[in-house]
Structures are given as structure tokens and as C-alpha cells.
A and B are shown apart, each in its own frame.
Chain A
Amino acid sequence: MLLRHTPKEIKERTALRVNPAKTCQPVGAMYASLGINKCLPHSHGSQGCCAYHRSVLTRHYKDPIMAGTSSFTEGASVFGGQANLLQAIDNIFTIYEPDVIAVHSTCLSETIGDDMNQIAAKAKEDGKIPEGKFVIHASTPSYVGSHVTGFANMTKSMALQFAQKTGIKEDHVNVIPGYVEPSDMKEIKRLLKEMKVKNIMFPDTSHVVNAPMTGKYKMYPDGGVTVDELMETGDSSFTFALGQWASEDAAKGLDAKFSIPFDVLDLPIGYKATDRFIESLRKNAGVTVPDSITVERGQLMDVIADMQQYLYQKKVALVGDPDQMIALTEFIVSLGMIPAYVITGTPGKKFEEKIKQITKDVPYEVKVKAEGDMFMLHQWIKNDPVDLLMGNTYLKYIARDEDIPLVRFGFPILDRIGHSYFPTVGYMGALRLVEKILERLMDRYDRDISEEKFELVM
């Protein structure tokens, strides 16, 4: 047994976190920053955080993840990191020539109380920021929230620190895709194109963290929302914010500053959430739904209808980020499956309420926990097992110990590929999820069924 010390008996813990289902803010901020064209993320703190964040993102995407660090030493930790950040800004613009440096703080610089706004202003004053180049910043202390919070904070910063209002009403809208994969962002853009919605999507990591092999490394790949586009977000007529945890703050911020109405939607995972997204686009962007999208939806429904018998009342344990878990739980319910356990590591009581509401008609007592961890999930499973696990790579230890099939979903996925290229949002994404779920469940069925009952056709 790999997790041999996990007992069945559950004891209350108030201080000890075991096998977390979240990580820290800066990694989310770093990821969001990569969604800006020609942007170098910068970690203001000791270099270890930056090394860790780059490493985990690199392992997840199997693509280069570049970022700078202020490399605090003990001295900087005592006297503040201003000198380090100023030096870093100068070095980065000289050596690496990005258009934007997106600075996020770390626990250390937050604890010290470095004021990034003031430091960025000083850099400008000292002439360390070349003409036409920018430094933006977000405060991302990890002792608050999780990596999702960091993503949200940086997303808000990129909008509010760039957006301008020219007064010219443009016919475009803002779309904030949430903390999703580059493949998902691309899929959302495709849907918007099919719907003929002129939009600015931010952040946009597609074609940044899944760049092609060309024989020459490009430090700033072609993808990402451009500075010009970010500036124009202030002129947009509407903001669609996908995922409350990751995107709501930016939408609200834009509204407060520029009076841009917005709709906070669930991530379009599963057909119900996608339906709501499409409906909102129809209503708020004033477009009609093309047949092509209706066809996609129909194809998804067709598969779900065909394969019902293999899904019905199968018990699933879900662990991941709140926005993902909310949409996924709803989808699982609509597939006729039972989301027996739903856990996120990210804090937020409203998460539990929302899951309870989604699962209120499920004929089974659904257990939900925000600020939970995988140790707790494992204990629940030991007390009452499930048929399927869905979550990040760390679940493979539980999957192996308990012999339960696993669908990898969320962050980080360190041992498989696919998430960079194949979306799980929209109707086509939902189809992929259904395929993955069926594949695991049916392989397991084939493995376990007695010889006389083994089926050719299923």
C-alpha cells in the first residue's frame, strides 16, 4: 500500500493539512500571466517559489514556462525587496525584452509588506520601463485562498491595469474563460466564432503553453491576449465571466470602473452549463445560435442516451477546483451518476451550498467539503467506496491502493498528456469527458466480469 497510514477511522483535524487539494496563489497568477501576449511573469520573493511554480506548470504542460524572480536573500527579507524588484525589472526588459512584466507577490513579500504599486511607479520614474512597455502587478499571498485566488487576482489586475475607456462604444464583448486549459480557451473561442460574437478573451494561454515544435525556441509564442486588446476591454459592451471563483472579480472590477454589465456563469462543463453559456451569449451579445452548435449538442445527447446503462448510478468521487467541481458535479448528476463525494481544497462556504443545491435530488447522501484534502477523501472512500475517481494526478495513489479507476481532470496532471490539446468545455468537451468516463468504467467492467458473461458488443 502506498498510502498505508490512512486509517478508516476519521479524526477531526483543525491544524494538520494532509495531501492538499489546492496549492498557492502565485502559481495561478503565473499561469494567468502567461495568457498575455509577450508577457514574462515575475515572482516577487525568494527564488524557491518561482522554481516550484515553474516546475509544476512545466510538468503539467510539458512546455517551457518562463518567469523571473526577485531572488530575495535574508537581507531583502528584512529590509524589503524594492531594490531587488527594480533590478529585476531593468534586467528583464534589457535581456528578455517582453512587452509586459506581470509581477505577483509571494508569502514572503506580502509578509514583509512590499508595496508593488509603489515599486512599479518608482521603476517608471527611474526610467526602468522602456517606452511602450508595461509592468502590472497582483497581490497574491498564499495564506489566503488558493491557486484559483491567484489566478483571479492576476486576471483582475490585467484587466483593470490596462483597460481604458475611449468613449467609443465597440461591438465587442469581454470573455473571461476562467482557470481552464489552453485547449478549453481555444474551444471557447471557437464557440464564440461559430456564434459570431466579437470578443476579447483574457487571459488566453492557448498557443502559449502548448506551443509547436519548430526547431527554434520562441520565448514569447504567438498566443495570448495582446496589450492593445486588454486596453480595449474598457470599451466592451458586456463581460462574460466563466467560473465564479476565477473570473467574477475581474468582471466586477470592470463594471465598477467602466460600468460594463456582466454575467457570471458556471464553467461550460457539461451540457447544462454550456446551454446556459450559449443562452447568455444569445441574450447579452445579441446573436443567434447557428445550426452547427445545435448539431454538436445533439451529438452529445445522442451518445449520453446510447450509453446510459453504463453510467447510471455509478458513484464518483470528485476533487478539484471550485469552478470545475460545480460544473462537473452538475454534469455528473445529469449523466445519471452519483457524485458521492465532492471536495475542493479552496476555502469558501458557498461552495458547499452550491454543491448541495445541485445534488439535492440525488438519491444518495452526497458529501461535500470546501477546504478539504485528499486524505479526508481517501478516508471517506475507505468507509464507503466509489466506482470512479475524478481529479488530478495525486489521486493515482488512492486509485491504486483502493483499486478504483481514475479519470484525470484538473490541475496538476503530471503523468498523462491530452489536457493541453483536447478540451473538456462545451458540447465537444463534454463528449470527451463522457468518452473518458466510459472508457475507464467499461475497461474495468471487462476486466472484472466472469468469462461466461464477457461481452463482445457493448
Chain B
Amino acid sequence: MGNKNNKVFDPEFVKQEMIKKYPAKVARKRAKGIVVNKIEGEDKVVPEIQANVRTIPGIITQRGCCYAGCKGVVLGPTRDILNLTHGPIGCGFYSWLTRRNQTKPETETSENYMPYCFSTDMQDEDIVFGGEKKLKQAIREAMEIFKPKAIGIFSTCPVGLIGDDVHAVARDMREEFPGTNIFGFSCEGYKGVTQSAGHHIANNELYKHIIGENDTPLDAKFKVNMLGEYNIGGDAFEIERMFNESGLTLNSSFSGNSSYDQFARAHTADLDVVMCHRSINYMAEMLEAKFGIPWFKVNFIGAKDSAKSMRKIAKYFDDKELTAKIEAFIEKEMAEVEKVRLDVIKRTEGKTAALFVGGSRAHHYQELFKELGMKTISSGYEFGHRDDYEGRKVLDTIKVDADSRNIEELTIEKDEARYKARKSEAELDALKSDKDFEMNDYVGLMPDSEEGSLIIDDISHYETEKLLEICKPDIFCAGIKEKYVVQKWGVPLKQLHSYDYGGPYAGFKGAINFYKEIDRMLSSKVWADIKAPWEQSPELVAKYAFNN
């Protein structure tokens, strides 16, 4: 049933169609965020794309706010920090359980606040007279009822405006309750231009308030921190299984299925691996600068990339026994994966996909589609920066604008007492010289995407519709707000934030799940039966035949 449109896919034409209707100023701005991909030379140089700039008012964006990135994304998956939203009720309500981070507390009675929503539910008088008093009282009540080991306070838009100082409140409360770590996040929704600002703020405060609290290392070999993995649909469980079965130790996770204690001992790890570069690169850099933990990029989405990532870790540790174990594990897993893949690819080969999501998944998931013989004709991030598109090589050329300047940039100093080089300079240099290894690097989405595919940052609703109308990909990946728009066009949409309540899709078992899921979505009968018999007039049928 291949895609009849992709042979005429002309990205430049599609781009012009997307911006044609926009007011001149809007068209000029959007044109910079819509780029036809071109990969040049050994260094895989790609065209510049505009990213991480202000959303155009009224454009209908996918983007959310700083608070969502901080409280929802980074801190959301940690079960034993009581997350208290300081603000009117809505912000806390919407971020209550909706992101599908799974968690598995150690025991039946271990702390787990994730099914709860805590808010100061600010009222009129709090806005007028200030909300600090209510915030303090809310913390006292939380202490009395729940006695948590830690409380995080998350600021919403009005809080910053009325001048409540959540950090001062946290300080006071720490004094009042010395046994509990209480800290604040100035993650008002208007900060920055997307969720991304919130990731940064979350990284900063975790670093300031928890990291390094517990110097007792795990009694284990090959201790790895998994950074930028949020356990949607159980992804972290699968990665943990892979680690366990191949002789690695998960030291701490940022932050899928994580706990406070994991953060507290993060600095004792031997290695940091980074999944979602966008949301957590700050932490990787800080842990390296202060404690000497090297980091590199991995990708556990896609079986091939999972295997590659495992091998990178093996190479890093350079231990014969570990390498053998990892190789054996990969071999065993890949056999299962291939069985399913070879069956599914019969039905997926040659089909097309479009991916617009987040700050890493629009890249990572292309790998899974490649494994199914599918082509990604268009992709883009919702809150990526230029380095997430073009690679970290462009970091120095990114202009810091007023919106980014407002986000605190911590100055990190080497912790003389606790800094420990995990590798010699020479060893690190060797790893860095291997381009494929991406030591301290991220190549970005564009060098890994199809030549000639259309890269769109912060795709608008209008552009989404144009893409569907002109290109009609066989499958579309985005979020809940886009899902039913796309499906009304008769194109199945896979949510890559929530996974449509499925998953895991990470690792080897995840790849199998994803193959089967895409098979189901593409093979489903419903799309072909949308029209009633009487709606399919002979005239229309003749027209289709003519077009072919």
C-alpha cells in the first residue's frame, strides 16, 4: 500500500506552502525554523536552524512551560520527594499523574508520593497579600501528616510576580524541620521559552541540594548513572534489566524510577551516560566538573542503538569479563529482536513517518523506524536547542538571548576532596578521538536524519496540517494535543510522550514492543473503512486512479 505521495515529496515546496499564509513577519521568523536537511562532509555539517526562541503568540504551539519541564519532567519521576506546587490549583492538578512515569518502590511501605498532588491552592488573598505564610503552613501540614525525607517547592507564574521567595521559605522550614531536606525551584511558567528552562532549573537545584549528600558508594563494580531517562511506560525498568543481566550496576537514575538516595550518591558513580541530552546535559557537565565523572551520549531506543550503547559502555570500562558478558547478552537479545523484526518489516518496509516531539525522541525514534525499513520524511523538536539539532559542535555559536540569560548558570568548581579522575587523561583522549563514541558530545538530530527531510522546530498546528495534507505520512508521532487532529486525517498517531499508555519501548524488549505496536497501527483495518460505502462515489475513485 506504500505511500503514493512520498515520491513527489519536495521539502522546499512543502516549506513554502507552510509559511505562505502567515503574516510577513511571522513567515520570516518561521522560515528560519523550517530547514531542508543537508549533511555535508566528514564532520556532518548541517544547515543552521532557529530553535529555542520565543513562541509566536497565537500560532498554536505544542510547547508547554518551564514549570512543566521542572516539576513534571525532571522531578516528576522521583517517588520519595514530596513535590509541593506553590500556586493556584490548576498547575498542580494538570501535572498530577499525567506523564506516566512508572515507579517501583523498594518495599510495600517505602515512600511514594507520585500518586498524590500537593498544592498550596492559592486564593485571592494570597495573591494580594503574598503566599509565603500559606506555603509555610502547607509545609508544616505536610510534615505532620507525611513526614517525608524531602520536600520540593515548585513556583508557578503568579508566585514570581507577587514576589514570594520560595528559597527563603525553604531555608526557614529546613531550620524548623532539620530532618527533612526542603528546597525550592523558581520555575515560574513564563521563564525561558519552553519546558527546557525548567529542565535546567531542576538540574541546578538537584545539584545544589541533594547531589553529594551521601559519600558511601555502592559496593559494586561498573556503577553507571543513567541520565535523561524518565521511565515512561517502564523504559527505565527495561534498561535496568539490561544493566543487571550484563553485569552493570545502575547507581542512580535521573530520574526514571528514581529515589532521593540515588541522587544523594550520584557523585560516587564510575560513569554517566546521557539519553535525553536536552533535559539533563547540565547535570552531566556538573558531575564531571565537580567530581570527575566522565559522560557520553547513549541511546537505548532502537535495538541497534541499544547494542551500540552497551558496547560503548563495555569499551569505556575496558574489562574483559564485562565485555564478554555484554556481548553474550546482546547476542541473546538480538536473536529475539530479529525474529520479530523480520516478520514485521514485511508490512512496514517503505512506509513513511513524521516525528515531532520533545527534545530527544524525535531523533531517537528515527532509529526504530529505520529498523522497520521506514523513512522519516520530517521531524523536529518541541523544546530542543540548536545543539540538539546540529550537534554540540555549534554550542559556541549559539547566541545567549534575554530569555536564556534569565536562567541561572551555576559556576562549578572542582570538589578538591571528592574529585576523582575515573580515567587517565590519555584514556579519555583516546575515547574522545573516536568520533562514533560521542564522548562529551551529542551529534544532534540533523546529521542522523535523512538528507532532504524537512526539519521543523516548534511545528505549529498550521504546519502540521499542511504536512498531513501534502505529504500524508503513513504514521505520525507527536503528543496528546496533536493525536486526534492527525487521526481525523486518517493517519495513525503514536504519542511519544505518553506512549499511548503502552511501552516500554527502550532497549531490546522495548524494540520488540515498538515493532509490534507500529505493525498494529499500520495494519489496523479502521483507517481503510473510514468512509461509508455511499460516500465513496465512483467519481472520486476515478480521480484517485487518474492521479496515480
Contacts and interface: CB of A to CB of B under 8 A. Distances in A.
B531 A215 contact: yes
Given A7-B145, A75-B402, A107-B87, A87 B56 contact: yes
Interface string B161-172: 110000000000
Contacts of B489: 215-217
Interface in B42-93: 54-68, 84, 87-93
B157 A106 contact: yes
A54 B123 CA distance: 23
Contact of A107 (B88, B117, B465): B88
Contacts of A456: none
B4 to A, nearest CB: 15
Contact of B158 (A1, A4, A107, A394): A107
Contacts of A107: 87-88, 90, 127, 156-158
Contact of A90 (B58, B90, B406): B58
B189 A108 contact: yes
Given A16-B138, A45-B157, A24 B90 contact: yes
Interface stretch (B227-235, B339-347, B479-487, B509-517): B479-487
A42 interface: yes
Contact of A73 (B22, B89, B91, B193): B193
A94 B484 CA distance: 24
A62 interface: yes
Interface string A8-34: 000101111111101111110000000
Interface string A238-278: 00000000000000000000000000000000000000000
B416 interface: no
Contact of A62 (B68, B479, B484): B484
A420 to B, nearest CB: 12
A23 B487 contact: no
B137 A22 contact: no
Contacts of B91: 24, 48-49, 52
A56 B161 CA distance: 26
Nearest to A58: B480
B121 A17 contact: yes
Contact of A4 (B66, B112, B488): B112
B411 interface: no
Interface in A38-73: 42, 45-49, 51-56, 58-59, 62-73
Given A5-B111, A48-B189, A73 B161 contact: no
Interface of B: 21-23, 26, 54-68, 84, 87-98, 108-109, 111-113, 115-124, 126-127, 134-135, 137-138, 140-142, 144-146, 156-158, 160-162, 188-193, 402-403, 406, 461-462, 465, 468, 479-481, 483-490, 530-531
A451 B193 CA distance: 62
Interface string A133-151: 0000000011110100000
9 contacts: A15-B135, A15-B138, A45-B157, A49-B157, A67-B60, A71-B56, A77-B157, A87-B58, A91-B23
B526 to A, nearest CB: 8
B75 to A, nearest CB: 15
Contacts of B116: 3, 5, 18-19, 375
Contacts of A1: 108
A280 interface: no
A88 B120 contact: no
Contact of A71 (B21, B61, B145): B61
A23 B58 contact: no
A62 B60 CA distance: 18
A16 B189 contact: no
B189 A49 contact: yes
B117 to A, nearest CB: 5
B134 A27 contact: no
A289 B408 CA distance: 68
Contacts of B64: 47-48, 51-52
A13 B58 contact: no
Contact of B115 (A3, A47, A106, A414): A3
A48 B123 contact: no
A397 interface: yes
A115 B146 CA distance: 42
Contacts of A361: none
A47 B109 contact: no
B89 A211 contact: no
B161 A111 contact: yes
A438 interface: no
Interface string A106-122: 11100110000000000
A23 B57 contact: no
Contacts of B146: 5
A85 B56 CA distance: 11
A217 B124 contact: no
A89 interface: yes
A284 interface: no
A457 interface: no
B21 A95 contact: yes
A213 to B, nearest CB: 5
B94 A52 contact: yes
Nearest 9 Cβ contacts at the A-B interface: A48-B65, A24-B90, A88-B58, A52-B94, A91-B58, A15-B137, A17-B121, A88-B57, A217-B488
